[in-house]
Structure 1
Amino acid sequence: MRVSRTIALSVAVLVMAGCAMREAPREATREVPRADRGVPFGSHALPYAAGSLRPSGDQKALDAQVREYYGRWKAAFVTSECGSRQVISPDADHPYVGEAQGYGLVIAATMGDRELFDDLLRYVEAHPSVNNPDLLAAEQNSSCKSVNGSDSATDGDLDVAYGLLMAARQWGGDYRAKAERRIAAIKAEEVNPDTKLLKLGDWATAEEPLSKVSRTSDWMIDHFRAFEKVDPSWAAIRQAHQKLIADIPGETGLLPDFVKNGKPVKGEVLEDAHDGDYNWNALRDPWRIGADAVTSGDPASLAAARKLSRWISTTTGGDPAKIAAGYRLDGTPLEEGPEPAFVAPFTVAALTDPSGQAWLDALWKTVTATKLNKKDYFAATVTLQSMITATGNHWVP
């Protein structure tokens, strides 16, 4: 089953009309009582690699900015329309998508919000993929019913499994066992056994024409690194993706939304004519690559993130307002910016460049001055996670 992840702003009004956004009446943030297990938000208990930057300013003030944004994000995008709580995506193809629930689980675990985490997990477990019950059906309609084949999308599954590993570190319990089952299912259903590259979802079987297509924003190197602790064979999967990141040609460091047979696709393959460009999927790459670079110090991730950061800083003259809304891989802009979703991820890549403090500070100022748009779940959620990482609060379980 072909599952599109296009950001469809045109459906936002219809979705909002069918499913009002409202915060659940309860509010609780419980952090694990055992200091030897949990990683409370703001503790910075797992420091970044030596030489990693942070935005200038008092660390407590930086953490407070993240907490404040988290509160606004939760009020805007966490609903209780489906018998539990779930993250709504008014600007996506469907009101509830697997990507959003995966994001929510990772965010809740990071913030120490166990009650929200458990509510989101109940929603996830109530919507299994038809192909494997340990994967998440990627799309639900305003009636909370899985649609469009009820199959999976790899990005959501990766974050669900990663979030469960984080929860196991935070609170113990049976989260790790659940994570292990999902990690095994991802490997069985969503990794090409020949290339070791991620597929688009469990529907991309060998008979499917898109079976050899991979989405670069799914290349979550820090997730793979965490999965290695469960199954050492994930090291080869991680290395295959890191090699391909390094092998994509060009001086910019930009990756395309999609690759096929290890090369950028040409024209429309899954979503639109810009599938081979740095666009609405690949915009997450500076954040994803940078997150692994600062948490692991891996030379390959550091090199890739620095290349991206130095190119974007140079091409914009150090002005975040000049970041375009998409680029061809040679650096030619697709649309004028700024667009918040394209700006925020570069704050994470900027953490890796020792000479880039002024650029990082300019990005941070821009990101934190941008108002949260309650109809733009995607940009707000990417921004929140970029802020978490930029302030030193991202960690690998």
Structure 2
Amino acid sequence: MRRAGVPFGEHSVRYAPGALRPSGDPAAADRQVLEHYRRWKAFFLRSGDEVGGRGRCAVFTPDAGHPFVAEAQGYGLVITALMAGADPDAQDIFDGILRHVLAHPSVNHPDLHAAQQDAGGRDAGGGDSATDGDLDIAYGLLLADRQWGGGAYEALAVRRIDAVLESEVHRGTRLTKLGDWSSGRYDEVSRTSDWMPDHFRAFRAATGDPRWDEVLDAHLSLAGVVRTRHAPATGLLPDFVVGTTSGDPRPAPGEVLEGPHDGDYHWNACRAPWRLGADAVTSGDARTWAAARGLSRWARAATGGDPAEIRNGYRLDGTAYGDPGSPAFFAPFAVAAMTEGEGDAGDEGAQGWLDALWARMCGSPPDPARAYAAGVQLQSMLVVSHNYWVP
């Protein structure tokens, strides 16, 4: 087994200047992440006959519409690649998940992943793709290439990156589509949880394709427009943006794909503070730094600095409608809180806010019935503990 190129816990890839980290011993923070990772593996990894045969693994999602979904496999690949150096089985698990992914190509493109499998390991729901899953799968492959080398991971990553650009990015707007099936009335819809700036940067570096610069700029520009026009007091993003092809992008007016909260800060958009914050602290880009900082400062003020008050759903004006308590909502704000670093006006109390969020994450072990929240929380913890990096 090759030694990991960027071992977990070494913190060898530095964050942008000004990025905060939890108070206390970094090694203690690493131990907290490792403990959550061990529980995540125990609760959600399935292997062997459960997922189609020897040598395969897959991330089980008891809280999704089907037991195996693309989003979870993408999470699994990213997580296991980042844990290399701490888990001696990380590469074997990564390869097992990858075998599952490769065994289930989309019906529309052989280099994309069929988004859902049933308990018998059969493709379900039409066999087409979901963009967020493919983005993380490609990103995980780039991480694996940096960790273990060999060239095979990189070749697979580039093929998938090219397929995403061909089938899951709108050729006119350069915005992510919902999947390789997205056309007709869905052609103007983009899901904000698919807006992953650090992934777009990594894809540009891996392929040399300047179109990924256009993708990055299109998403950051649209995020700024939506926040300015529709959430100036909060900076919140909606689950779905419509009108992207008409020159009038706006939050979904009611149900577009999933439910009546499609235009609110709901179970998709709750990942935005993590995705924007992760890019901010790794790239130092002023655009994502400002967006993440704005979200953190709003949340800190809205909750009085108490992470237990973060609710599971908000209107874009900040009106809460959800119950409190899900890590899918409070953990991403810890990533955003890292951008309230020293030397910035209004940062008083920022370290305490980050420490409170970190303590809440550490005191919230994964729920075996909630794979989605567990995956979001673990990846947020990886970023906050300075164990995340962009290949």
For the pair 1:301 / 2:293, whether they are aligned, the reply is no
Structure 1, residues 258-315: CA drift from partner, whole Å, max 9, x if none?
Answer: 0012211100000000000000000000000000000000000000000000000001
Match of residue 220, structure 1, among 192, 196, 199: 196
Match of residue 62, structure 2, among 83, 86, 90: 90
1:253-268 correspondence to structure 2 within 5 Å? 253-260=235-242, 261=244, 262-268=249-255
TM-score w.r.t. the length of structure 1 is 0.90
Q: CA deviation at 1:232?
A: 2.4
Q: What is the one-letter code of the residue matched to 2:379?
A: Q
Q: Is the 8 A contact 2:36 2:365 kept in 1?
A: no
Structure 1: any 5+ residue segments left out of the alignment? 1-29
Residues of 2 paired with 1:269 and 1:53: CA distance? 38
Residues of 1 paired with 2:300 and 2:222: CA distance? 24
Q: CA deviation at 1:45?
A: 1.3
> Which residue number in structure 2 is paired with residue 209 of structure 1?
185
Residues of 2 paired with 1:240 and 1:91: CA distance? 32
TM-score w.r.t. the length of structure 2 is 0.91
Q: CA deviation at 1:224?
A: 0.3
Structure 1, residues 170-206: CA drift from partner, whole Å, max 9, x if none?
Answer: 111210010000000000000011111000000013x
Q: What is the one-letter code of the residue matched to 1:339?
A: S
Q: What is the one-letter code of the residue matched to 1:246?
A: G
Q: What is the one-letter code of the residue matched to 1:54?
A: R
Structure 2: any 5+ residue segments left out of the alignment? 85-89, 342-346
For the pair 1:167 / 2:144, whether they are aligned, the reply is yes
Structure 1, residues 225-254: CA drift from partner, whole Å, max 9, x if none?
Answer: 100111222011000000111111222010
For the pair 1:360 / 2:354, whether they are aligned, the reply is yes
Aligned residues: 362
1:275-290 correspondence to structure 2 within 5 Å? 275-290=262-277
Runs of 4 or more off by more than 6 Å in structure 1?
none
What secondary structure is seen at the aligned counterpart in 2 of 1:79? strand
Q: CA deviation at 1:44?
A: 1.1
> Which residue number in structure 2 is paired with residue 131 of structure 1?
108
Return 273-282 or 362-371, whichever deviates more. Answer: 362-371
Q: Is the 8 A contact 2:66 2:116 kept in 1?
A: yes
> Which residue number in structure 1 is paired with residue 384 of structure 2?
390
Q: What is the one-letter code of the residue matched to 2:127?
A: S
Residues of 2 paired with 1:272 and 1:285: CA distance? 19
Residues of 2 paired with 1:285 and 1:383: CA distance? 13
What secondary structure is seen at the aligned counterpart in 2 of 1:100? helix
> Which residue number in structure 1 is paired with residue 344 of structure 2?
none
Match of residue 325, structure 2, among 335, 338, 355: 338
Percent of residue pairs identical: 57
> Which residue number in structure 2 is paired with residue 109 of structure 1?
81
1:63-82 correspondence to structure 2 within 5 Å? 63-80=30-47, 81-82=50-51
What secondary structure is seen at the aligned counterpart in 2 of 1:328? coil
Match of residue 44, structure 1, among 11, 15, 23: 11
What secondary structure is seen at the aligned counterpart in 1 of 2:186? coil
For the pair 1:377 / 2:376, whether they are aligned, the reply is no
Q: Is the 8 A contact 2:177 2:191 kept in 1?
A: yes
Structure 1, residues 118-151: CA drift from partner, whole Å, max 9, x if none?
Answer: 0000000000000001000000001010011100
Match of residue 26, structure 2, among 59, 66, 78: 59
> Which residue number in structure 1 is paired with residue 159 of structure 2?
181
Q: What is the one-letter code of the residue matched to 2:78?
A: V
